[in-house]
Amino acid sequence: MIRLLIADDQQLVRAGLRMLCESAPDVHIVGEAADGAEAVREAARCGPDVILMDLRMPVVDGIAATRKILAGRPEARVVALTTFDDDDHLYPALAAGAHGFLVKDSAPEELLAAIRRAAAGEQPFSAGVLRRLVSRVVREERGPVPSGALRGLTPRELDVLALVAEGLGNQDIAERLHVGVTTVKTHVAALMTKTGADNRVRLAVLGYSAGLER
């Protein structure tokens, strides 16, 4: 059972998220918060596995709350809830330790899948958000793919890297390539080791910069 904390300053949004998540048999809502300070207190009180964290909240914003929560509970997984005009918050939230980003108008099944992926140790990103993050990194770093960064990758690892650059999760990649999820996890781990990427966003940037995105 996934223990979930919902943090959003809009009561209607929290109610909608609660209603959706309560429909999932493997998700148990252990708390709610209307601002970042309350989110920090609730996380300490109820020990959630996953936290849906609005980035724009009063008292303490979602970025500071993420940093404080993970300082005391590093095993928790924070999935940031964002809007399409929230670019200025995305990088700071990632730097604070957020494990994924989901746009607020995501489909219900995408939100539930993101919660499950986060609980399983993945980094769930809405495809649109990941593309914008990757584009911004490529724009700001303005550097080519390091020479030899893809050297030594197998054809299958290159296939997986291309799909990571598209923003696909492990389950979706497994279905696309007709392999098991465990096999995909093995390939992703190998990609991080071989390329030196320390997270999924960096892998996506690498694949995008190398022109592997399909």
Q: Answer yes or no: is pLDDT of 113 > 70.
A: yes
More confident residue, 142 or 29: 29
With cut-offs at 50, 70 and 90, classify the pLDDT of residue 199.
confident
Look up the CATH number of domain 146-209: 1.10.10.10
Q: Enter the pTM of the model.
A: 0.79
pLDDT band at 27 (very low <50, low <70, confident <90, very high): very high
| Phi, psi of 56, rounded to the nearest 5 degrees | -105, 100
Angle between helices 155-165 and 170-177 (to 10 degrees): 130
In this structure, CATH architecture of domain 2-124 = 3-Layer(aba) Sandwich (3.40)
**Model confidence at 214: pLDDT above 60:** no
Tell whether the model's pLDDT for residue 146 goes beyond 60: no
pLDDT tens digits for range 150-161: 788 999 999 999
Task: Sketch the domain layout of the chain as residue ranges.
Answer: 2-124, 146-209
- Model pLDDT, residue 85: 61
CA dist 114 and 96 (Å) reads 19
